[in-house]
Structure 1
Amino acid sequence: MRIALFVTCLADTMFPAAAKATVRLLERLGHEVVFPTGQTCCGQMHINTGYQADALPLVRRHVRTFDPYDVVVAPSGSCVGSVRHQHAMVAAAAGDRSLAARAESVAGRTYELSELLVDVLEVEDVGAYYPHRVTYHPTCHSLRVLRVGDKPLRLLRRVRGLDLVELPAAEQCCGFGGTFAVKNADTSTAMLADKMRHVLATGADVCTAGDASCLMHIGGGLARLRAGVRTVHLAEILASTEAS
């Protein structure tokens, strides 16, 4: 299968390992991964903060860039959530019915990584090996917007050498929420403290998730505590093998 990689801003600028791991994993499974060079920000942060008019050109560019591809994947529940649930809305609000229809079409072909693996490629055992004690944080967008359910857990359970431990109060938000963490710093910090307490209670070596943004938030807090727990994107775990 030929799959277009929607790399996302955060992966491109700060966490490229997640994007590289996505490519490595899909190629190992026998698929061709292409990188459309015309892609930019999907406009999620503009939309979420009320700047829909500024987001419209980004939506238009995203649709134009990814429309030629039958399947699009991103290592981010957050950005896929925006493409799937916001792009057509922004276009429709601007009165551009043609763009809204094309945005709906692209959204229907765009998947978060665990969705692509389980629902489209119909694979749970990806041949990964990761000998660590791991706990999984279900990010808000993947859990509540995309509703990926237990797909990431099903993938993790098939990773050889991995000891998967349940995260207490897993469905609670980590407190990041994009600009929420900036505008409501005290509340965000309190939510992060709860999340870190639960992560540490598992005794895990690694906390994983499908969004680099949440991992950045949790990982930053754990690093300040010098807790010895790493945050690793789900794609990096699934791409790991005994040879890597």
Structure 2
Amino acid sequence: MTRVGLMITCINDALFPDTGKAVVTVLRRLGVDVEFPAAQTCCGQPMVNTGYLDEAVPLVRNHLDAFAGCEAIIAPSGSCAGSVRHQHGLVAQRSGDPGLVRAVAAAPPVYELSEYLVDVLETVDVGAYFPHRVTYHPTCHSLRMLGVGDRPTRLLRAVRGLTLAELPGAAECCGFGGTFAMKNAETSIAMGNDKARHVRETGAEVLVAGDNSCLMHVGGLLSRQRSGVRVMHLAEVLAQTEPVISSAGRAADERSPGTDLPQGREVAR
């Protein structure tokens, strides 16, 4: 059995643990042994992006130690996967430590979830069932830094019952960008409102993306606009399966409002 390490990422660990659980559900369904190294911490991206490369060195070392022995590392985030893949080498070079440079070069490969499913496991049908109209936002780092391309939408199209609506201006940034949203709040909100407007135009029930930071940003704006659109991480959609109907279950017309989207969420206003 293939053994991989789950790189949960800071935002998922702190705010969206269900995303990590969904990744484990999907991978185990496909016969992958998933380990969660408890020693993992931040990948160092905030430090690198703000110019503090020296402060990122201990985080790179910790990452190497935490995931030693894994065949591969899976991250439910294009942003953090991109950081490990493209920034850790830069940090190691900057440190002046040849041993760290060699260790980074020899580290297990890191994959964004859709990359691992499509390229390594060579599957697009993960056995998911989700009878809803959704639209997909390709986040900047997954699109530009990793080049995941159409892998996420291929996975979504294989989900039974799912209708995928094309998102206008899909390649445009949502405006979050980590520290960008704090340093340029007005611009960030304006960009997010544009993205939210495009989402509403699709008539989708659910906005799907591979990064919860972007979903948190756009989802908050959609919630304030009382759009009724919920947000879900790609992994959470792929983890859904057809419910088992038992005699103990209530009739469909007796279900509480909102139970049709058990894993969806609206960001609190």
TM-score under structure 1 normalisation?
A: 0.98
TM-fit CA distance, 1:28: 1.0
Q: Is 1:162 paired with 2:165? A: no
**Contact 1:133–1:162 (8 Å) recurs in 2:** yes
TM-fit CA distance, 1:67: 2.6
Over aligned residues, Cα RMSD in angstroms? 1.0
**Contact 1:140–1:173 (8 Å) recurs in 2:** yes
Q: C-alpha distance in 2, partners of 1:183/1:126?
A: 40
Which ranges of structure 2 fall in alignment gaps of 5 or more residues? 245-269
Which ranges of structure 1 fall in alignment gaps of 5 or more residues? none
1:225-244, Cα deviation, whole Å (9 max, x unpaired): 11100110000000100138
In the TM superposition, what are the counterparts of 1:135-214 in structure 2 within 5 Å? 135-214=135-214
Question: Which of the pair is proportionally richer in helix?
Answer: 1
Q: C-alpha distance in 2, partners of 1:105/1:227?
A: 47
1:166 counterpart letter in structure 2: E
Identical aligned residues as a percent: 61
**Contact 1:88–1:101 (8 Å) recurs in 2:** no
Paired residue for 2:232? 232
Paired residue for 2:125? 125
Q: Which has the larger radius of gyration?
A: 2
Number of residues of Structure 1 aligned to a counterpart in Structure 2 = 243
TM-fit CA distance, 1:109: 1.1
Q: C-alpha distance in 2, partners of 1:190/1:72?
A: 35
**Contact 1:84–1:104 (8 Å) recurs in 2:** no
1:130 counterpart letter in structure 2: F
1:22 counterpart letter in structure 2: V
Q: C-alpha distance in 2, partners of 1:141/1:105?
A: 23
In the TM superposition, what are the counterparts of 1:1-80 in structure 2 within 5 Å? 1-80=2-81
**Contact 1:67–1:102 (8 Å) recurs in 2:** no
Q: C-alpha distance in 1, partners of 2:120/2:160?
A: 23
Q: C-alpha distance in 2, partners of 1:25/1:194?
A: 32
1:41 counterpart letter in structure 2: C
TM-fit CA distance, 1:63: 1.1
Q: C-alpha distance in 2, partners of 1:105/1:152?
A: 28
Partner SS state of residue 135, structure 1:
strand
Q: C-alpha distance in 2, partners of 1:40/1:232?
A: 24
Q: C-alpha distance in 2, partners of 1:95/1:243?
A: 55
